[in-house]
Amino acid sequence: MSFDQTHWVPVQQRRPLPTFYYHEHFLEMLNFVAQHYAHVLLESHLQYLREFRELPRDAQCLYVRLVNRKGRMFAANRLRYPELGDTAQLIGILRERGWAEAPTEKHYREVLSFLTRSEIYDVLLPRYAGLSRSLKKADLLAFAQKHVAPGDFMTALNTERLFVQARHDATRYLMFLYFGRVKESLSQFTMRDMGLVRTSSFQEVYEPRFSDRSEALENYYFAVRLRRLQKADAAALVDLSEECAQWPDANFTGSARLRDELAYQLGRKAERAKDPERALRVYRCGESAECSERIIRLLLASGARDEARQYLERCLDNPRSDAEWLAANDIYERKFGGKRTSTLTDVLRAGETLYIDESRSGSPERAAIELLESQGKVAFRTENLLWRTLFGLTFWNELFVDQNATSHSPFELLPASLANGSFYEQNRDRVESTLALFSNDPATIKRRLLQTGTTYYGTPNGVFRWRRSMSDALFALLDHADRRAVATILRLFCQDYPNVRYGYPDLMVVEKDHVRFVEIKTEGDQLRRNQLLRLKQLRDAGFRADVARIEWVLDPMQAYVVVDVETTGGRGDNHRVTEIGAVKVCNGQIIDRFQTLLNPQRSIPPGITRLTGISPAMVADAPYFMDVADDFESFMQGAIFVAHNVEFDYGFLAHEFGRIGRSFRYPKLCTCASIRKLYPGHRSYSLASLCRRYDIPLKQHHRAMCDAEAAAELLLLINEKRLEGRSTMSATSAHA
């Protein structure tokens, strides 16, 4: 299974947007909320709905325009909406009916942020004549807030042209109910109508995301503060931190998750501000494993070992989650059990080592797959995609088709039962009946997956993305794995989808008729705690799940194909290849050559002929690229593509293969970039200059074979330098 998304389902194109599209969108949102969320609305929200509908239509439109703009402070003279006519009159209506208001001292920070530098200077300079006129706006704002009282500034400022969008919080709450997160505009509706965003194509059955008012208000409380956190300056961060003592209890799963995220992010920002005491206070307001780990580490750093030990013992004896127990156990063993390294480090060090040529370091997972396949194994890059695809296809009807299959809004592709964690309880009998099928012949499950995939292929959903090759890894898993182990992991998805959908190992490897999962790490990579938890869950289910460390080496037996192409011009999308020259290098020797002229099926500019010596007559009877494509690809088999300024040659050949409907994908090495890195200090790194510097023959410059052979000599210099201080494959193997 590959990350390559080879199939993209086009979004339906819509008609041009009507003039008052934004008004239609706002009414659509309000009507949806009124229909599905009446049970969570306060009287003030019901009043909002009534009074908005009582506004004249154009006044409604202007208010929606304000909702969709950034901020809530506006200058009347800057508003230009031709379709609405006299905006000054409409602003008057909004002011009169409580939908707009004049700025006051409570809006001081917003006013300062809204004003231009010159407008702020107009107020400050009469008071502070010596004030520097070159201050950046951020410094100017800081000066004003420090030295000028809000009331004095607002009195000196001409605020008649300014007004504030009123009822902002109520608007934001209604949009929060619809979208499930704090939004500043209805841009998603616009993108939907323009065909840029997909919406659910299943039955239009919607389930409120909140069961009662207290749940909705709790979630909104923490979501708003998380939004404020994103834009908070140092002073605002302190204010948010001081609020934590007054946070409401989080009595619901969703609000607890938001509270924990808020506590963790606030605490981390306090730590970065070198305020560990404030960070500790904030972390204590959260209950996530991440918050617990930071509490323990801060206590230890402050010397409070006894308190840290008590906290650790609580986490071990009564953990809130598996992740919290893992973190606490790891720290306890190291700090109080005499263990010198973390569990994460131990697992990483215990993994097998894969020795791979460093030229493939640009794609470690792909390099590992190629190595494993060279050993006779079958490997797929799977990560989370394998399990999410298998889960989605296995329970497609329960998730998307049945009467109980609902979502929270048209924009949400994830089923409501997964978002709120109720899927397993709602479908327990059917889930267990389906999972029981995994103990039978895999053909039954495979037929079911094929039928679902064939029927619904390409249908947007919030669980997985469709791929043409998705069945390869799925069927390999079902054919070679212990299917009871497969059922165990799927049960976890059913029971706790939000927390188990991420963190799975990079690869699935099939060998000797069994399956194992492998997390790939390279030098400097760390094993994350959620990855460790997934490895543990896979092992507990009955799978073999490992970590493999890649050590980049120089493999003397690695084949390189050094390529040069001559072309009709400088861009592969407009021009064509006229000649290919390539030499194969292995173990420091040129072992094979490939050379051909090509008919470019277009004219060759005279300037190109003067440069390369290749004339139209020379290529008139030459083969087309499609005639030599198979031979060249066979020549490239298992090799690394090398060229001087590699993107030029590689790009042209990729375009040529693309024109005949084939892909061209090989690891690349650039002799120009490599020489620049390994042999610094040259004035020029052109092929001709380097050949002169290193006494490399270049008798027919700008003919493909001559240039390829010269670049091959540069490759030998590069590998010679790479050998210095770098293990070779043979030396590493001998040491092992």
Mean pLDDT over 244-270 rounds to 95
What distance in Å separates the CA atoms of residue 146 and residue 131, rounded to the nearest whole number?
Answer: 14
Q: In this predicted structure, what is the pLDDT of residue 1? A: 32
Nearest to 203 by CA among 426, 407, 416, 13: 407
Q: Is the pLDDT of residue 596 over 60?
A: yes
pLDDT per position as a tens digit, 168-220: 999 999 999 999 999 989 999 998 888 887 777 666 788 999 999 999 999 99
Q: Tell me the pLDDT band of 7, cut-offs 50, 70 and 90.
A: very low
Unique residue bearing structure tokens 């060090």: 349
Cβ burial of 727 (10 Å; 0-12, 13-18, 19+) is middle
List domains and CATH numbers for the chain: 11-102+164-197 (no CATH), 104-158 (no CATH), 354-553 (no CATH), 560-723 (3.30.420.10)
Position 201 scores a pLDDT of: 67
Banded pLDDT at 623 (limits 50, 70, 90): very high
What is the pLDDT at residue 680?
A: 93
Distance CA 5, CA 36 (A): 36
Distance CA 567, CA 602 (A): 11
> Is the model's pLDDT at 434 over the cut of 50?
yes
| Predicted confidence (pLDDT) per residue in 400-432, tens digit | 998 888 899 999 989 999 998 899 999 999 999
Whether residue 39 lies in the annotated active site: no
pLDDT value for 216:
97
Lowest-confidence segment of 265-279, 523-537, 681-695 by average pLDDT? 523-537
Is the predicted pLDDT of residue 261 greater than 50, yes or no?
Answer: yes
pLDDT grade, residue 556 (50/70/90)?
A: confident
pLDDT category at 118 given cuts 50, 70, 90 is very high
Res 258: pLDDT: 96
d(C-alpha 170, C-alpha 64), whole Å = 13
Give the model's pLDDT for residue 233: 85
pLDDT averaged over every residue in the chain: 90
Decide: residue 645, CB within 10 A, 0-12 exposed, 13-18 middle, 19+ buried: middle
Task: Centre a 10 Å sphere on the Cβ of residue 523 and count the other Cβ atoms it contains.
Answer: 9
Least confident of 51-55, 342-346, 370-374, 696-700: 342-346
Q: Give the integer Cα–Cα distance in Å for 736 and 732.
A: 6
Residue 533 has pLDDT above 50, yes or no: yes
Give pLDDT, residue 214. 96
Say if residue 608 is exposed, middle or buried (CB neighbours under 10 Å; 0-12, 13-18, 19+).
buried
Confidence of residue 338 (pLDDT cuts 50, 70, 90): confident
pLDDT > 90: what percent of the chain? Answer: 75
pLDDT at residue 718 tops 60: yes
In this prediction, residue 322 carries a pLDDT of 87
Residue 733, pLDDT above cutoff 70: no
Continuous H helices in 395-523? 396, 416-419, 423-426, 428-436, 442-456, 470-480, 483-500
| pLDDT classification of 11: cutoffs 50, 70, 90 | very low
Sheet holding 577-586, edge to edge: 589-597, 577-586, 560-567, 640-643, 668-670
Do 243 and 228 contact (CB within 8 A), yes or no?
no
Higher pLDDT, 573 or 104: 104
- Catalytic pick from 107, 480, 655, 702? 702
The per-residue pLDDT for 734 is 39
Distance CA 617, CA 627 (A): 19
Residue 341 has pLDDT above 70, yes or no: no
Specify which residues 690 forms β-bridges with: none
pLDDT, tens only, 579-594: 999 999 999 999 999 9
Q: What confidence category does residue 725 fall into, taking pLDDT thresholds of 50, 70 and 90?
A: low
Q: Is the pLDDT of residue 474 over 80?
A: yes
Q: How confident is the model at residue 64 (pLDDT cuts 50, 70, 90)?
A: very high
CB 622 within 8 A of CB 596: yes
Least confident of 77-86, 284-293, 720-729: 720-729
Largest CA distance in the chain: 88
Whether 342 shows a pLDDT value over 60: the answer reads: yes
Give the E-state strand segments of 554-605 in sequence order.
Answer: 560-567, 577-586, 589-597
The confidence score (pLDDT) of residue 317 equals 94
pTM: 0.76
Residue 361 tokens read as 């370091």
H or E, element range at 70: none
Q: Taking a C-beta distance cutoff of 8 angstroms, is the pair 583, 709 a contact?
A: yes
- For residue 728, pLDDT beyond 60: no
